[in-house]
Amino acid sequence: MINVNGKPVDQMVGKTLTDLLKAKTSMMQNVVVELNGEIIHRDQLDTKILVENDKVELISFVGGG
């Protein structure tokens, strides 16, 4: 099990951060990903594999005026 934004999430261990983003948000281009306290660059999302007890923060940017 991993933690996403402070909530436990099943069935993501062994999957990539891209897989997680696809499952959690439809606006991937507006999200910054932090994995265990480290900001992950977009070019690494396909290669970072989630492991047991990972802590992921998905931070969305919303524009307005």
For the segment 26-49, what is each residue's pLDDT rounded down to a tens digit? 667 789 999 999 999 999 999 999
Considering the entire predicted model, what is its pTM?
Answer: 0.88
> Is 15 within 8 Å of 47 (Cβ atoms)?
no
> Is 3 within 8 Å of 57 (Cβ atoms)?
no
User: Which residues, in sequence order, are CB contacts of 13 under 8 Å at separation 6+?
Assistant: 1, 2, 50, 51, 52, 54
**For 2, which DSSP code?**
E
User: Which residues, in sequence order, are CB contacts of 19 under 8 Å at separation 6+?
Assistant: 12
pLDDT band of residue 65 (cuts 50, 70, 90) is low
